[in-house]
Each structure stands twice: as structure tokens, then as C-alpha cells.
Structure 1
């Protein structure tokens, strides 16, 4: 999960929420946008394109599928990053979001935001007005962080989220799952603003309203927001974990299976007399096996932590029906470390095993296969 903070904040604003997450095997990555946190000496321009380019570079350096979470101004950055990487962005979470097209506030309103740089009292007043349950210690820390930002950076960044990005004038280019989280008492990202400028741009976004929370819902109610994120993750991670496996069956190639496997993957199957170990061997076995089927359809999928359970129905040998269950065990990076494949009925298992042995002659010894 990649977290993007909002206006006047820094990467540490997510610490409390991250500590409340319970989804196993998820790496959480936070960062400072240019001009904020530990990067206050960065020079402009402070634009959405610059922010999205830098956050996107972090996502690319991670080299893994990711869910990206952004708050307020950071939600717009998160959408731009996800839209450029739809193949790896498993989900997009927008917390108290501002419209990507901008808030378009008049100058008399924006001048109060543009002038916040270095003014601790004014920043405290704004945060107090826009929050409901912000603890005093959190408020103090946010004010310290916000007043470190240079006045010219504050001015330019305020104009950034007010003016918006041209992509916000169109439906979002991100096609994946979206969760929009709003604080019930948020006086900035109001229900009207979100309903008019955020949610209509996505095909079928999930929405959540957090009670007793304002614009910093992730700080005001971290356990509640984390629970909502855990439920969102439960919906997007199972498909991601098994996608490499089901996609490889569609392609029927060793390379496609290789991408889904960890280096030390182990394959066990009712069509094998002993396990096959190591990515190179396993990918070739699976590629050969996939070509034996005349058809194969995955009918059910269930995820339980590190394991995915796939039910499937196939035909082979000119129409003989094969039913089965596959159990996939993944590591923290989502790579398959163990695959257990159970075929039925027994007669088809023996015939399938013998045919697999014939196709893999020279790669695996005959002792790996049933000879019935």
C-alpha cells in the first residue's frame, strides 16, 4: 500500500492508521511530497504532474502490485498514479478527497489558504475548524509540520489543488476498484463536493462515511478508517493473488506461469507421484499440463490470508470431464510458493498423469507419473 498525504501534511500523518491495519502480508510505504516533510527545501513547480511523476516513480521502484491511498490533495495525486498503471494498481482509495478538476474557490477564499505558510496560529485555526475529533497531540504535530513548509510552497500548492488538473474534467482513466472515504463532519470535502466532483467520475465506487470525523478522518478515527481499508483489501487482494495463475492457464505458456511463481515454488498434484520443486521445473510442468485440457473454467474462488482456493471444471481427451480444486499459497509479495492440485475422478487422473509424463519425457523421470 502506497500512502500519499495532503496539503500542509507529511508522510507521518499515516502512522496511526497503518498501525491499526490487520491485513497480513501487506507492505506499507509512505513518502513526502516535494516541498513537504523532509523535502521542504525542494523548489517548484508544485503541480499535480510533478507530484504524480515522483509518486509514480516510487510505485515503479517497488516493482509490485499496489493499492494507493491518498488524502485531500493527495487523493488527486493517487488517482493520476493509478491511472498510469492500471495493470499494477489493484485499488484506489480516496480519503476526504478534493476533485481532481480543482475546487475552483474564488480569490477571497483562496487568499486565506495561500497565506498559511509559516503562520502556526492560522494553521491551527483552520485544522480545528475542519476537524471534529483531532487529538491535541496530533494537532500540535500537524502545526509543527505545516509551519516548516516555505510560504511560497504553500501558496503554489494551494493553487495546485484549487486549479486542478485537466484530467479531472473527464471520467477517470483508472478502471479498477475505488473506495471513497469521507468524514461525516468535513466542512471542506463536503458531501455535496464529493458527490458532484469525485464519485461521478468512477464507474462503481464504494463509499464510506466516517462518523465523528472531519477532514483528517484517518487521524481522527484511525481504527475505523483502517477497518474500512481492511475490508476493501479483502475484496481486491484475492483476485490479484490468483490472477497470475488463472491468466497463465489462459496463455498456456511456461513464461506466463513463471511470472506467478516464487523461485522456490513447490508443486504437488494427484497426477504426480512426488512433488516438483523449483520455478524452472514447475513452470514447464504446468505449461505442459495446461495444453492437455480441451477446456478449463474456474468456477469458484475463496481467499483466506496467504491461501487461495480455486474450484475448476475441465475437459480433456475428447470430452472427458475433470473436476478439481487448486490450493495456492503465496508469500508476502504475492508470489506462489506452493501449488497443490487435486483432480478427480481417479481414472482420468491416471490417464492425465501418463499423458503428462509422455509430454515431459526427458525433463522429468518416469517415476514422477502414474503408469495406469
Structure 2
């Protein structure tokens, strides 16, 4: 283990190992860089070095002055990553997950992957004042901090709990207040699709009463295009301490395809997804490239499914041409299924929105597409226009009759 400094600043980071790829760890609210030691000791992936650092106001940087904002944290953590000068995977816990995303998004040429452990949404939690006050007031209140950590964990060893409380009590009360404001208010980038397009692993503790399944599914996972979620049993908000061996195994598994045996690779440019690219080009041929031969299309504008690549590509080619504009607003993947939310205007300026569910086979081709449109009057108009454009190609019985 060796410690280095970024230029003439007070930003220092610890390095262990001598791999060609760095795995960088960002701690969360009230914590410090040493929280990762039990996890990194259990990683088995070869060819990596581990890097940890303290955010301003925390740990060995507890005397740092403000501001304490996501922008500052990302700038300083990013400066450490730049000083290391290697391709990297970045791991963030709680509010550190937001910092990790900003660092990765700002370095698409070197960021190979992003792991978010019980992540607070980058857009913030927006708790009411009376709820946030409980977190704001934890500086200088060891018993209050201990109670919060117990409430939000499931299997913290007693020694780890003592260690966490001691770390939290090193922070100045005004820093604690500012940090709570930071993760509660969030960052503007969290209100839109993430700029990081690489692989993302989200690890959540099953018993975390703060970062819940609903929070992750609503405000975290949909912002990424290549995301996997795993749930850790008998763990709460500090899953990497409560079940460190299991979290280490998940991280090793995530690292395996990112770091091939023959050495690190540069991240590939994000591959255009056939479905969204086909809509952009309004091209039946591009749709066909995305479909399996036996693809089935179901939609609220259809009264019965359309089957087979040739027929489905004709329907989708015609449908895409009806839209005057279309924007995909959210996307998430769970196993073989991809969920897309979208909003559009159809011919004549008719507003329409909906959800598309794509099911893919092992080769990545779409075997089933289910498209749900709303509102109802837009569904009927769209179906009528589609029937007109496909007359003689697709039977009229597939469309709603006025």
C-alpha cells in the first residue's frame, strides 16, 4: 500500500497492487476510504490495482474547507483517476455512487465499468426538512449516528459498527450538514439519461430501508443503457461490510468480461441498438437486422399479433414513418428483457407516449416486441393510419375498426 498526492493539492489516494487497470473506490456519507479494506482484501481478479481516497471533509481530509458538492467531489476524484493514468472501473457507495458516475461519465475513453453499491440517486432524494434534519444533525451525536446505522443495516459486525461511528464522528458538524444537503439536493445530471454508456452493476442490500427497490428502479437503473442489478440477502445499506465476501464475488464477476485475460481493453464505442437506431432512420431494413426470424409483435394499436421477421419489419417501418418526432426517455434491462419508455408526436402533431418491452434470445436478437401506446384516442388514430399505409401488405383484421 502506498499513498500519493494529486499535484500540490490536499487530495491523496492509496494504491495497492500493480495491475494495468485501476479499480477506484468512492466511499459514502459519514464514511472514509478505509471502509473498503475488507472488500478489496477479498477480490481475486488478477491484473488490477485498488485505489481508495477520502472525499473532502471526510477521513484524513476532515479539515478541508467547503464547498462540499458533487461537482467538487467529482473533480477531485477525477483528478486522482487522471493522475493514475490507467483504464479504470469505478465503484461508489451511497452518495459516493453519484460521484463515481460523474467521474466515469467525464472519461468515456478510459472508464471500463461502473459499480453502484446501495446508490443514492444522482438527482437527489429530496427528503422533507423534518426527515433530512435527522441526518443533518448526526455530526457530534455518536448515539444518534449509531442508531441510524443500526436501523439501516442488517448484519453489521459490532466492530464494524464501532469503526463506522468513529469515522462519522471525525467529521465537523457543519460538514455533515453540507453533505446531507448535497445528496438530498442531487446534481442536475441525474435528471436525464446518464452520460456513461458502459456496463453498470447495481448492488443493493435486501434489507436497506433507505435505498429501496422502488428508489433504484425509479431513479437509478432506468438512467443507464447496460445495467445489471443484484440483491444481497442479509444486508442493508453497507452491503460491502455486512456481506463483503458476496459483494466481492459480484464485483469479481463484473470485472471478468471487462478485463479479458490477455490484458485491458479500451472501452468500445457504445453500439447503436437496432431498435432505437431503426426508429431514428425510419428504416424497415434496420429493424429486420434486430429481429429473430420468428419474432412476434404485439401492440395496443393491433388487434392481434404480427409474426415473422418480414411482416414485423414492414409494420415497424411504416409505424416509424408515422411519427413526426420520437424520444426515448428511459431504458432498463433485466435479463433478456429491455424496457423502453418513450414520448412522441404522430402525424398532425398528435401527442402519444408509451412503453416498449423487447425480449431477446441468446444471440441478442429480438424475439418478441410488445408496444403499449396511450392515450386511447391516439391509439385508434394511429391504428387507422397504420392500416391505411399497410393496405394489401398486412390484413385489415390486424387493426382497430372505426
Name the TM tier (shorter chain): 0.5 to 0.7
Aligned residue number for residue 30 of structure 1 = 52
Partner of 1:68: 90
Give unmatched runs, 5+ long, in structure 1.
248-372
Over residues 82-104 of structure 1, what are the superposed CA-to-partner deviations in whole Å (9 max), with x where a residue is unaligned? 00001101000000001000000
Match of 2:171 in 1: 149
Partner of 2:4: none
Q: Is the 8 A contact 1:90 1:240 kept in 2?
A: no
Aligned-residue offset at 1:118: 1.2
Answer yes or no: is 1:77 the counterpart of 2:99. Answer: yes
**Residues in 2 aligned to 1:200 and 1:240: alpha-carbon distance in whole angstroms:** 33
The one-character-per-residue Cα deviations of 1:212-267 (angstroms, maximum 9, x if unpaired) are 000000000000000000000001112993646x99xxxxxxxxxxxxxxxxxxxx
| 1:266-315 Cα distance to aligned partner (Å, 9 max, x none) | xxxxxxxxxxxxxxxxxxxxxxxxxxxxxxxxxxxxxxxxxxxxxxxxxx
In structure 2, what is the equivalent of residue 226 of structure 1? 248
SS in 2 for 1:34: coil
Q: 1:8-47 to 2 correspondence within 5 Å?
A: 8-47=30-69
Q: Does 1:125 align with 2:147?
A: yes
Distance 1:118-1:205 versus aligned 2 partners, 3 A rule:
same
Q: Number of aligned residue pairs: give it.
A: 247
Q: CA RMSD in A?
A: 1.7
Give the Cα–Cα distance (whole angstroms) in 2 for the partners of residues 39 and 211 of structure 1: 33
**Residue of structure 1 in register with 2:127 after alignment:** 105
- Give TM-score, length-normalised by structure 1: 0.65
Query: What residue ranges of structure 2 are gaps of 5+ in the alignment?
Result: 1-22, 270-402
- From 188, 191, 201, the equivalent of 2:210 is 188
> What pairs up with 1:1-372 in 2 under 5 angstroms?
1-238=23-260, 241=263, 243=265
SS of 2:49's equivalent in the other structure is: coil
Q: Which has the higher Rg, Structure 1 or Structure 2?
A: 1
Q: Deviations over 1:292-342 (max 9, x none)?
A: xxxxxxxxxxxxxxxxxxxxxxxxxxxxxxxxxxxxxxxxxxxxxxxxxxx
Where relative contact order (Cα < 8 A, 6+ residues apart) is larger, the structure is 1
Q: Is the 8 A contact 1:117 1:154 kept in 2?
A: yes
Q: Which runs of 4+ in 1 moved over 3 A?
A: 239-244
Q: 1:151 to 1:182 in 2, by over 3 A?
A: same
Q: Please, what TM-score do these two structures have when normalized by structure 2?
A: 0.60
Aligned counterparts of 2:190 and 2:263: Cα–Cα separation in 1: 31
Q: Is the 8 A contact 2:197 2:226 kept in 1?
A: no
